Amino acid sequence: MNSLISDLIAIVGESGVLLGEDVAQRSVDWFTGAPCQAKAIVRPQTTEQLSKVMALCYQADQPVVTHGGLTGVVHGGIASPDELVVSLELMNQIEEIDAVGSTMQVQAGVTLQRVQEAAQEIDMQFPLDLGARGSCTIGGNIATNAGGIRVIRYGMMRQQVLGLEAVLSDGTVVSSLNKMLKNNAGYDVKQLFIGSEGTLGVVTRAVLRLQPYMPSEQTALVAVPSFDALTALLNLVSKELANSLSAFEALWNSHYKLMTMEGSKHAPLLSTDSPFYAIIETLGLDEEQDAEAFAQVLETAMEKELITDAVLANSSAQREGIWAVREDIEWLVRSLKPLFSFDISLPIPHMDEYVNNLEKALNEQFAESAEILVFGHLGDGNLHIMITVRDDSLQSRRQVEELVYGSLVKYNGSISAEHGVGLEKKEYLKLSRSPEEIDLMKRMKQALDPKGLLNPGKILG
Amino acid sequence: MNSLISDLIAIVGESGVLLGEDVAQRSVDWFTGAPCQAKAIVRPQTTEQLSKVMALCYQADQPVVTHGGLTGVVHGGIASPDELVVSLELMNQIEEIDAVGSTMQVQAGVTLQRVQEAAQEIDMQFPLDLGARGSCTIGGNIATNAGGIRVIRYGMMRQQVLGLEAVLSDGTVVSSLNKMLKNNAGYDVKQLFIGSEGTLGVVTRAVLRLQPYMPSEQTALVAVPSFDALTALLNLVSKELANSLSAFEALWNSHYKLMTMEGSKHAPLLSTDSPFYAIIETLGLDEEQDAEAFAQVLETAMEKELITDAVLANSSAQREGIWAVREDIEWLVRSLKPLFSFDISLPIPHMDEYVNNLEKALNEQFAESAEILVFGHLGDGNLHIMITVRDDSLQSRRQVEELVYGSLVKYNGSISAEHGVGLEKKEYLKLSRSPEEIDLMKRMKQALDPKGLLNPGKILG
């Protein structure tokens, strides 16, 4: 056993260090199931342990890759045989819930779902929500500035974080566990760690902001006859339900059809011949009033021919049924193999043109074999695009990436709306960020991680 | 004329450079009216001009102080005779309004009020709001991460900014004019410039996020019998009006009495013998429903003895009358001379104890001469504390500061909730931030402004 490993064991104990088979059996990519290759996985139980681990690695020039729930989709968790993985899985405690101040202090390894449930127990809510809620961790949500289905109402993870604690590459613990809504005492250093994908520090703890619980939830799946109708519908509900709109998800026909086809878990709730579908959700306080306002808006939409059909959830089972169509990524991944998955952002008015041109270009380059599915958080300007060309050669992947990202430039779109950059998108970063922005990123990296030991090669490469 | 001045004139023209009397007649502090001492005030008309000015200053090792609307209260605008002032006053255009994307692109020198009005014209709103709206600028709002009266609903300035453009100390233009709600393509570099008070770069442009217009506004002034009742009231309205609560301002008795005393512009709308008052406001969509819900909650509060009296605004004139009591800082400054003004943040449950102890300590140290007024954004945990000891010697000021800031430490409070640090609070920064946090701030300063030319001595000193 080499000396680094024995030094690590001295810090975190035998059970805190995984080696050999225990490393390899862990997958770093849930799309492909690719095994972890790191020289070891270290699992600190306290910030102090992690601080010592990092100081040790700093001395030894040992690169470190941080693992949260491993549900990311941009290869942020990949570690080479020379790298060490730090997993926050044993730091998974909810440390304090303050109902008066509406805050919750947690360790980074706690799952999103446990935080949501703990908030519910005191009649509040933690509004960030996404399909991977059961396995993704708060630390990962912070590191990637996670988005999800309620950004339109509550913002991304950045908005849910009041304070945090992080360990720098040299082992320094930066405790910034602010609990207050407002704190302008100097630079807001926590922002550095939110969305920087573990390249500037390892997040160990966070103070999260809780929101009032909303007892009334209205959900509908609607069929929409055109893209113009879809944006008009978004504008209508954004205005008429401005105080309660919490999700506006769009499903292109190809996506809806696949998710409700025979063999899938989901029977189509509406006929599958509509070009677009939307899931609309509001969160409010008064069931009766909210239901009436919701139905009223859908009626208006029907009169204006913005929707052609609708199904309103009458029970939580029906609501879950509607959302399941949107969230069953497993079926999607199984049906569309090999899958190239994208997460982009562009101004809403350009989306239809962008998708149509992309489809055309794919068909030109890959003929029959290309298949494209589009869905996403329309209200946020964020689309998920799933493409297969029935071939996962690097060449095909590059070709598809060039099409997806290349045609974003003219709309000033982003190559990553909510998934981050990781290894997957770093070559395309320059399409969404100016040289001056990227230079600033490099200055920050240099200032916080001068040896380049944290998640090496991710984002900036 | 020295060569720097003539070089500046070559860049921005004669009218772009103010010298001598034109500099001295400009006040850098609206509390005291202290005159500007800078060697010149440069007023670029374009980002390109500013970039050239900054590059020139960088070459000449010339320190630069940035001016917005000069309504700050922490001496952020003070410039020594050796410093050059850059004022954004001629860059005051609204460049683009996108009603579909709900964004507005503006130059930094535009006032908050003009942005609010431009949003109203397209039936939307820009929700940041504060007393200085008519003179403070968007650039200043960004540089200080301004707060104001609607943070409880819409967040601080940080949340309203989708993108920005800034000029670094060496003249580099960093254009990060993102218009999308979600953009996780690498580090979010715009966060560096928000709340860093012009010490990391000069903000020249911004893309602001607009919100749906809320036609229904409910406003009440209520009398509250105790601090416990005040927090219970906050909890009640936070829950019962969760979808619409937009302001919850508290006024301690001393404040309310002064603002409504004879000689002031405001007659007391409620008797002046209540220990606390609150202004509660909701913004909603349906006048009738909202008014009913609002009245219902106040009735509940009355039944629970959380309030003893209330006046609801029945017209916009009445609403303005209620807010005027809160916002008439001019009267306050005139009545309480010489004034030491504070802006702090601490967990709500500790506020009463904190204020009582502070009052006691002030009376002990200054006997009869001390007077203290407290009001603030209770819902945000943010209090404004106004103190006079009828003496503005540096010694008295220090003594009062020690009391106000020193006793915050045990509550993990902040020496600045929304005003920033500037020159005024920099010696106390260490009370609210750990050495590791301050070290990170210094690393950022070093990374972005290695020569230390931007707002020298502010925040970090």
Give the residue from A152, A181, A211, A433 with the most B CB atoms within 10 Å of its CB, the best one to mutate: A181
Query: Would you give the distance in Å from CA A299 to the centre of its chain?
Result: 33
Q: Do A184 and B419 touch (CB under 8 A)?
A: yes
What is the CATH number for A34? 3.30.43.10
* Same domain? B240 vs B325: yes
Those residues with Cβ within 8 angstroms of residue A13's Cβ, 6 or more apart along the chain or in another chain: none
Q: How confident is the model at residue A57 (pLDDT cuts 50, 70, 90)?
A: very high
| B241 belongs to a structural domain | yes
Q: Give the integer Cα–Cα distance in Å for A186 and B430.
A: 10
Instruction: Residue A391: give the domain boundaries.
Output: 336-374+387-441
Given this model, what pLDDT does residue B140 score?
A: 98
* Same domain? B134 vs B192: yes
Q: What is the pLDDT of residues A83-124, one digit of tens each?
A: 999 999 999 999 999 988 899 999 999 999 999 999 999 999
* Same domain? B305 vs B347: no
Nearest to B212 among A239, A382, A446 (CB): A239
| B347 belongs to a structural domain | yes
Q: How confident is the model at residue B109 (pLDDT cuts 50, 70, 90)?
A: very high
In percent, the amount of chain A with pLDDT more than 70 equals: 100
Q: Give the integer Cα–Cα distance in Å for A51 and A61.
A: 15
Given this model, what pLDDT does residue A329 score?
A: 87
What is the CATH number for A296? 3.30.70.2190
Q: Which of A112, A60, A107 is nearest to A87 (CA)?
A: A107
Given this model, what pLDDT does residue B415 score?
A: 97
Q: What is the pLDDT of residues A289-328, one digit of tens each?
A: 999 999 999 999 999 999 999 999 999 999 999 999 998 9
Q: Which of B329, B437, B259 is nearest to A166 (CA)?
A: B437
Query: Would you give the distance in Å from CA B316 to the centre of its chain?
Result: 24
Number of domains, chain A: 4
Nearest to B437 among A176, A412, A447 (CB): A176
**Could you say which residues from 36 to 65 on chain A have a Cβ atom under 8 Å away from some Cβ of chain B?**
none
Q: What is the pLDDT of residues A143-171, one digit of tens each?
A: 999 999 999 999 999 999 999 999 999 99
Decide which of B67, B89, B111 is a domain's last residue: B89
CA distance B238 to chain A (A): 7
A31 has a pLDDT exceeding 80: no
* Same domain? B235 vs B170: no
Q: Do B185 and A416 touch (CB under 8 A)?
A: yes
* Same domain? A202 vs A232: no
Helix (H, G, I), strand (E, B) or coil at A52: helix
A240 has a pLDDT exceeding 80: yes
Given this model, what pLDDT does residue A1 score?
A: 62
Q: What is the mean pLDDT of residues A253-280?
A: 95
| A202 belongs to a structural domain | yes
| A75 belongs to a structural domain | yes
Beta bridge partner(s), residue A205: A107, A165
Helix/strand/coil (H/E/C) assignment for every residue in A63-105: CEEEECCCCCCCCCCCCCCCCEEEECCCCCCEEEEECCCCEEE
B46 has a pLDDT exceeding 90: yes
Q: Do A243 and B238 touch (CB under 8 A)?
A: no
Total count of residues recorded for chain B: 461
| B448 belongs to a structural domain | no
* Same domain? B176 vs B234: no
Q: What is the mean pLDDT of residues B159-169?
A: 98
Contacts made by residues B331-336, CB under 8 angstroms, sequence distance 24+:
B331/B258, B331/B259, B331/B264, B331/B265, B332/B258, B332/B259, B332/B373, B332/B386, B333/B31, B335/B258, B335/B264, B336/B258, B336/B371, B336/B373, B336/B386, B336/B388
A419 to chain B: nearest residue by CA?
A: B184
Q: What is the pLDDT of residues A33-44, one digit of tens each?
A: 889 999 999 999
* Same domain? B200 vs B126: yes
Given this model, what pLDDT does residue A32 score?
A: 78
Token pair for A198 = 């573990």
Q: Do B346 and A144 touch (CB under 8 A)?
A: no
B367 or B309: which leads in pLDDT: B309
Q: Do B184 and A421 touch (CB under 8 A)?
A: yes
What is the CATH number for A354? 3.30.70
* Same domain? A267 vs A206: no
Given this model, what pLDDT does residue A291 score?
A: 97
* Chain B residue numbers touching A179 (CB-CB < 8 A): 347, 412
Given this model, what pLDDT does residue A176 score?
A: 94
Torsion of CA B324, B326, B328, B332, to 10 degrees: 150
* Same domain? B194 vs B253: no
| A447 belongs to a structural domain | no
* Same domain? B172 vs B232: no
Q: What is the mean pLDDT of chain A?
A: 96
Given this model, what pLDDT does residue A438 score?
A: 98
B201 to chain A: nearest residue by CA?
A: A440
Q: Is the dihedral of CA B293, B296, B297, B298 positive or negative?
A: positive
CA distance B210 to chain A (A): 12
Q: What is the pLDDT of residues A370-428, one digit of tens each?
A: 999 999 999 899 999 999 999 989 999 999 999 999 999 999 999 999 999 999 999 99
B46: amino acid identity, one letter: T
| A452 belongs to a structural domain | no
* Chain A residue numbers touching B125 (CB-CB < 8 A): none
Helix/strand/coil (H/E/C) assignment for every residue in B255-287: HHHHHCCCCCCCCCCCCCCCCEEEEEEEEECCH
Q: Give the integer Cα–Cα distance in Å for A121 and A116.
A: 9
Pairs of residues, one from chain A and one from chain B, whose beta carbons lie less than 8 Å apart: 254
CB A295, CB A282: distance < 8 Å: no
B307 has a pLDDT exceeding 70: yes
Bridge-based pairing of strands B84-87 and B40-42 is parallel
CB A453, CB A63: distance < 8 Å: yes
* Same domain? B284 vs B315: yes
ipTM of the assembly?
Answer: 0.96
A218 has a pLDDT exceeding 90: yes
Q: Do B151 and A460 touch (CB under 8 A)?
A: no
CA distance A371 to chain B (A): 26
What is the CATH number for B196? 3.30.465.10
Given this model, what pLDDT does residue B29 score?
A: 82
Q: Would you call A238 an interface residue with chain B, using a CB distance cutoff of 8 Å?
A: yes
Decide which of A89, A118, A134 is a domain's last residue: A89
Q: What is the mean pLDDT of residues B166-176?
A: 97
Q: Do A382 and B181 touch (CB under 8 A)?
A: yes
Given this model, what pLDDT does residue A177 score?
A: 95
**Could you say which residues from 190 to 209 on chain A have a Cβ atom under 8 Å away from some Cβ of chain B?**
191-192, 194-196, 200
* Chain B residue numbers touching A174 (CB-CB < 8 A): 434, 436-437, 440
A220 has a pLDDT exceeding 70: yes
Q: Do A436 and B460 touch (CB under 8 A)?
A: no
Decide which of B58, B89, B120 is a domain's last residue: B89
Q: What is the pLDDT of residues B242-276, one digit of tens each?
A: 999 999 999 999 999 999 999 999 999 999 999 99
* Same domain? A175 vs A68: no
Q: How confident is the model at residue B1 (pLDDT cuts 50, 70, 90)?
A: low
Q: What is the pLDDT of residues B56-103, one digit of tens each?
A: 999 999 999 999 999 998 999 999 999 999 999 999 999 999 988 899
Given this model, what pLDDT does residue A33 score?
A: 84
Q: Do B285 and A429 touch (CB under 8 A)?
A: no
What is the CATH number for B362? 3.30.70.2740
| B48 belongs to a structural domain | yes
Q: How confident is the model at residue A2 (pLDDT cuts 50, 70, 90)?
A: confident
| Type and span of the H or E element at B297 | helix B287-303
Q: Give the integer Cα–Cα distance in Å for B197 and B200.
A: 8
